[in-house]
Amino acid sequence: MALRNHQFRQAARPVGAVKRSDFDYVEAPVRAPGDNEVLVKILYISLDPAMRGWMNEGKSYIAPVQLGEVMRAGAVGKVLESKHPKFSTGEFVSGTLGVQEYATVDGKLLTKVDPDVAPLPVYLSALGMPGMTAYFGLLDVGKPQPGQTVVVSGAAGAVGSVVGQIAKIKGCRAVGIAGGKQKCDYLTQTLGFDAAIDYKSEDVKKSLREHCPQGVDVYFDNVGGDILDIVLTQINRNARIVICGAISQYNSTSGVKGPSNYLSLLVNRASMTGMIVFDYAARYGEAGREMAGWLKSGQLQTREDIVEGLETFPETLLKLFSGENFGKLVLKVADA
């Protein structure tokens, strides 16, 4: 019997938070692979804050998802049929496969993944795009030196949790900012952060002073907004601020709130640099090998928050914006 695909296609440009009506959930035939193409059965889909931005119209670092197009998403899956010389049936692969059950794609867009090295969802977290973001954002842009203080927001999330752990591996003091006691306890008690600040219940400025007695040398910003503004008041001379994301602003309907304390950059001869992980694609192999080594040695830990069922996609995506996800948010579509 011919395979049928289920897909989420973008139906509207969202205003504020994403709604189910911003998508069409459709059934469609599965296209057989042509020359150099591979048919992949999708097992796990990566849910990322960036998806919200990809749904907007306008110029960005990547083209917007077009109305009627399958929603863009990273995913891991199993090869069902291959007409590409590099891939065989039964192998596991990752790539930008979309929010759907099956994808027929050019093999050059796929990367093989090995479930013996790490469980498949880890290829969407520490060994995937968020891990690469943490690795290159911290090491190439933040340039932390041993003994320096690294502060990261969104610290219990996919990117932030890896940033803090790499900071520790590199001999830095790691201070995380996250929402809620459970996430903060996880940072200090499980991941080895030196301190954690619960921005929902603490005075962030006061806690930063307490936990960063030598000031802040690197701030890895995942959230933007008020937290960025507060950290700016605590930076050291020559500090590096890595602008990785600004999740507090993604659903704003009244424009992005920029930092009013930016003159701290001038006073401290500091820098604030935007980074996009895709610019480092040629070096993913290098980072992946080092991160796999840290995972194996136990220096790096990952946590995935796995939700089952493709059809829950719009509501599950919202967990990123309410902070309900605890670890890398992954949608499980099928068993391997």
Residue 3, phi then psi, degrees to nearest 5: -75, 145
Which residue's Cβ has the minimum distance to ligand NAP? 157
Q: Which residues bind ligand NAP (CB under 6 A)?
A: 48-50, 129-130, 133, 154, 156-160, 178-180, 183, 222-223, 244-248, 275-277, 320-321, 323, 325, 328-329
> Which CB atom, from 30 or from 71, has the smaller least distance to ligand NAP?
71
Compute the half-sphere exposure of residue 21: CA atoms within 13 Å on the CB side of its CA.
2
Q: Across the strands, what pairs with 28?
A: 5
Contact between 72 and 51 under an 8 Å Cβ cutoff? The reply is: yes
Tell me how far, at minimum, the Cβ of 88 lies from ligand NAP, in Å.
31
Residue 301, phi then psi, degrees to nearest 5: -120, 150
Tell me how far, at minimum, the Cβ of 156 lies from ligand NAP, in Å.
5
What is the SS3 assignment for 143? Answer: coil
> Which CB atom, from 87 or from 294, has the smaller least distance to ligand NAP?
294
> Which CB atom, from 93 or from 138, has the smaller least distance to ligand NAP?
138
Contact between 221 and 256 under an 8 Å Cβ cutoff? The reply is: no
| Nearest to 162, CA basis, from 133, 121, 196 | 133
Tell me how far, at minimum, the Cβ of 298 lies from ligand NAP, in Å.
21
Tell me how far, at minimum, the Cβ of 304 lies from ligand NAP, in Å.
10
Tokens of 171: 């001999």
> Which CB atom, from 207 or from 248, has the smaller least distance to ligand NAP?
248
Tell me how far, at minimum, the Cβ of 180 lies from ligand NAP, in Å.
6
> Which CB atom, from 79 or from 155, has the smaller least distance to ligand NAP?
155
Contact between 132 and 159 under an 8 Å Cβ cutoff? The reply is: no
